[in-house]
Chain A
Amino acid sequence: MSLPPFSVFLEEHRVLVYRFLVASVGREHADDCFQETFLAALRAYPRLRPDSNLRGWILTIAGRKAIDHGRGVRRRPLLLAEVPDRPDAATAVPDGEPELWRAVRDLPPMQRAAVIHRYVLDLPYAEVAAATGTSEEAARANAKEARRKLRAALEGAR
């Protein structure tokens, strides 16, 4: 058994990671965080054990990048190469429900990651735990607390 080519790994996980980042940091920062996530993954990839939980691993990295982003860690331009053109605006995902996503982004990082993994990415709690580096119990508690806060925030906004 060996690791898949990174190109295959990238293709298999790009949508999941992108969705996680849109929910975590918003459309406008998802692209940057995506680049940083896979860059960190690419650097570490050859040292990864072939039997690793690849999905949990990349979501853990994405979670860290989302936290860095929230802390306002200013990043230098990553790489200086030519950037291909962005697709036109029609392909951009609309940021509907602004008050919901504002409330999601206001959650503490672990609660935010847990609730996104569970409800946006539809992962079972065992995988939420793997991606957030906690026990399954803690993942459940984090998601539950996140839901309580979101409900309160949304009721307050009405």
Chain B
Amino acid sequence: MSEVDRLKELRRMDMETPAAHAARVFATRAAAAGLADVAYTTVDSPFGPLLVAATKRGLVRLAYPNEDPERALQELASSVSPRILEAPGRLDELRRELEDYFEGRRQRFEVPVDLALTRGFTRKVLQVTVRIPFGSVSTYRDVATRAGSPRASRAAGNALGSNPIPIVVPCHRVVHTGGGLGGYTGGVQRKEFLLKLEGALA
């Protein structure tokens, strides 16, 4: 066997397992040392696995299972920082809070949020929405008014529809003035589920 054939032998050896392990060790260490601008993981929920991502300032993204996780991460890479690693540690507290929330033991989230993916009127609307208390609802008109544009109900609806952090920024608590539930990311049945969980809907 020539020296080249013998070198080629190494092509056939399985490197996937040790490489995957080394990559996991790397991501964990680098994130713990503060070198990841964005850390992400998935957490279970009644809707299925949620992708959650946090910057050093707070939770920046929560994506429902029907959203393409690769696209969500690519958007973070383009808009926030490409220094993104899969590292659950930074999201441990959120994981606990979400679990408590879905089991009815928690009424408010303590983890800070980072609205880095939003700007302008959308950000204002979401800042107003964060303050709507558990168990109550507000209207698109209310939210628009408190965000400084009383006549911008429709724009407020669009802003809520693009909420990058659903559940934690409770856009499900905003409904139509006439009592209709309005729209929701991935279907109104999710909105209904959350409002029932909170006791705001019979």
Contacts and interface: CB of A to CB of B under 8 A. Distances in A.
A15 B19 contact: yes
A30 to B, nearest CB: 7
22 contacts: A4-B74, A7-B40, A15-B15, A18-B15, A18-B19, A19-B10, A19-B11, A19-B19, A31-B18, A31-B25, A34-B22, A42-B30, A42-B36, A79-B29, A87-B21, A91-B18, A91-B21, A93-B13, A119-B4, A120-B7, A147-B3, A150-B3
B82 A6 contact: yes
B116 to A, nearest CB: 15
A14 B78 CA distance: 22
A53 B17 CA distance: 26
Interface residues of A, number: 52
B94 interface: no
Given A2-B78, A100-B3, A7 B22 contact: no
Interface string A53-75: 00000000000000000000000
B70 interface: yes
B63 interface: no
Contacts of B82: 2-6, 45-46
Nearest to B76: A5
Given A2-B74, A42-B85, 16 more contacts: A7-B27, A7-B84, A7-B85, A8-B70, A8-B73, A10-B27, A18-B18, A19-B15, A39-B35, A42-B30, A79-B30, A84-B21, A97-B9, A100-B7, A120-B7, A147-B4
A31 B10 CA distance: 17
Nearest to A80: B33
A78 B2 CA distance: 40
Nearest to A103: B3
Interface string A1-37: 0111111101100110111001100000011001100
B188 interface: no
B83 A46 contact: yes
Main secondary structure of the interface of A (DSSP, over half): helix
Interface of A: 2-8, 10-11, 14-15, 17-19, 22-23, 30-31, 34-35, 38-39, 42-43, 45-46, 78-84, 86-87, 91-93, 96-97, 100, 104, 115-116, 119-122, 147, 150-151, 154
A15 B32 CA distance: 23
B30 A39 contact: yes
B83 A45 contact: yes
Given A8-B73, A35-B29, A87 B10 contact: no
A86 B18 CA distance: 9
Nearest to A150: B3
Contact of B11 (A8, A100, A120): A120
Contacts of A120: 7-8, 10-11
Contact of A15 (B3, B16, B25): B16
Interface in B66-121: 70, 73-74, 76-78, 81-86
A34 to B, nearest CB: 5
Contacts of A121: 11
